Amino acid sequence: MTLNSYVYRETVAATAEAPLFLTFHGTGGDESQFHGFAKELWPGAGVLSPRGDVSENGALRYFRREAEGLYDMADLETRTGKMAGFIAAHKKRLAPKRVIGLGYSNGANILAAVVFQHAGLFDDIVLMHPLIPWQPVDNSELSNVRVLITAGRQDPICPASLTIALNDYFVRQGAKTTLDWHDGGHELRSSEQAAVAKLLGGQSPNR
């Protein structure tokens, strides 16, 4: 059943007007990694956090890879479709007025892969330290999506050149795009949380 394609954690929205967050963890994380973070960003929001179902030496991921930055593209295509179906089913079940996707590293990559093909599933997406080593096809529906990309200038996993290329791709599609850098590597920093709060229109952990 598509609704149960993944193990997931859910927090029910406080009101019918509250948005729905979908969070996607990094390699080695799980459905709890960013679930609480989303609740802090927007108290009262609904939060749905699927667990990756691929194991890489015991570390959970959303799709297979051959090496760092070398993805199993056939597996990625299959799992992108599976994730899109899961999201669409829950969106139909919950009927939220706004859908926000937030992913880090491998979670950002599966979120981006879904949005490249199914832009209508989201209103806003936050891609924290994504690595997209392929050229996605054009999609005019992305003009309706707001995109925030956060990255480290010294990230040894996600080269700055690929981050810039991804940002440029979204700009070409007409998406409302922001690229937020910090001077570190692959780690998450507090400046990224502030950038996400700004994207969300003033929501913050201290609201």
In-domain check, residue 206: no
Check residue 1 and give its pLDDT: 61
Angle, helices 106-117/73-94, rounded to nearest 10 degrees = 70
Instruction: Spot the catalytic one: 105, 118, 124, 182.
Output: 105
Q: How far apart are CA 23 and CA 201, in angstroms?
A: 18
Residue 64 lies in a domain: yes
Q: Which two tokens stand for residue 189?
A: 């920093």
186 part of the active site: yes
The alpha helices in the chain, defined as continuous H runs, are 35-41, 73-94, 106-117, 160-172, 190-199
**Residue 206: pLDDT band by 50, 70, 90 thresholds?**
very low
- The reply to whether 135 falls in a domain is yes
Residue 155 among the catalytic residues: yes
Max Cα-Cα span within the chain: 44
Region at 57 (left for phi over 0; alpha for psi -120 to 50; beta for the rest) = left
Whether the pTM exceeds 0.85: the reply is yes
Element at 176 (helix H, strand E)? strand 176-182
Q: Which of 5, 53, 180, 186 is catalytic?
A: 186
Compute the average pLDDT of residues 13-35.
97
- What is the rounded distance in angstroms from the CA atom of residue 120 to the CA atom of residue 104? 21
Assess whether 124 carries a catalytic annotation: no
* Alpha-carbon gap, residue 97 to 167, rounded angstroms: 26
Question: Of 118, 129, 155, 182, which residue is the catalytic one?
Answer: 155
Mean pLDDT of 32-57: 97
Q: What is the CATH number of the domain that holds 75?
A: 3.40.50.1820
Give me the domain span that covers residue 36: 2-199
Give the pLDDT mean for 165-185: 97
Rounded distance, CA 172 to CA 66, Å? 30
Q: For 50-90, what is each residue's pLDDT tens digit? A: 999 999 999 999 999 999 889 999 999 999 999 999 999 99
CA distance 1 to 64: 22
Q: How many domains does the chain have?
A: 1
Shortest CA distance to 121 belongs to which of 80, 150, 64? 80
Task: For residue 49, give both structure tokens.
Answer: 């956090």
Give domain status of residue 104, yes or no.
Answer: yes
Instruction: Round to whole Å and give the CA distance between 62 and 100.
Output: 18
Cβ contact 87:121 at 8 Å = yes
* Domain-embedded: residue 44: yes
